[in-house]
Amino acid sequence: MADLSIDPSRLHGREGYFLLTSLVVPRPIAWVSTLAADGTRNLAPHSYFNAVSSDPLIVHFTQTGEKDSLRNVRATGEFVVNIVSADLLEPMNLTAADFPPEEDEFAWAGLEAAPSAVVAPPRVAAARGALECRLLDIVSMGNGNMVFGEVVHLHVAASVWRDGRVDPTLLRPVGRLAGSAYAIVTDITKIPRPTYDGLRDARHGAP
């Protein structure tokens, strides 16, 4: 069977979305908590999410359309990215439902909210990691709105902290695959990064 050769301009409807999200995997999930201008809590997952900079700490998530997370961040300039571990997969999935703006997803999912240290939106108390963020910029590109935030405070559960860093085998983060499929990080391989000098010496023989 021959490989597929696909011209994106010839895709129809959501074909491009399904193709892209089945190849760009697994995607980390930003479980974003925000507050509306009237104080209503909102919690929603976003799988177009990643780190942008480590100095300063900057992350971003992308939302399609003008939904609650984006509206609330525009209004308040603050949000929290809660990290989704395996034990939180079910409540996270529940908060992906199309709730109207006046509904509190924390309450619907039976999740305890914990106060943040710097920003107003609360965090998910059970999350093993949380990034408190202040809005830097919102960039519209295609049908997505990329929300960039500077991390102004971090929370890490003691249960996942080992030898001065987060142990991914204890964090057990969830990644989004295509459709309704998810991956849980359990199988980890460590490969030291090579150096040019080391590769050169190995090829030609060290003097």
What residues form DSSP beta bridges with 84? none
Contact between 113 and 41 (Cβ < 8 Å): yes
pLDDT, one tens digit for every residue, the chain (207 residues): 999 999 999 999 899 999 999 999 999 999 999 999 999 999 999 999 999 999 999 999 999 988 899 999 999 999 999 999 999 999 999 999 999 999 999 999 999 999 999 999 999 999 999 999 999 999 999 999 999 999 999 999 999 999 999 999 999 999 999 999 999 999 999 999 999 999 999 998 766
- Cα→Cα distances 28→10, 40, 112, 121, 177, Å: 29, 26, 22, 21, 10
CB atoms within 10 A of CB 100: 6
- pLDDT on residue 206: 65
- pLDDT on residue 205: 76
How far apart are alpha carbons 46 and 67 in whole angstroms?
Answer: 12
For domain 13-158+166-204, the CATH class is mainly beta
DSSP conformational letter for 117: S
What residues form DSSP beta bridges with 145? 63, 140
pTM of the model: 0.94
Give residue limits of the domains in the chain: 13-158+166-204
CA angle, residues 169, 114, 79, in degrees to nearest 5? 85
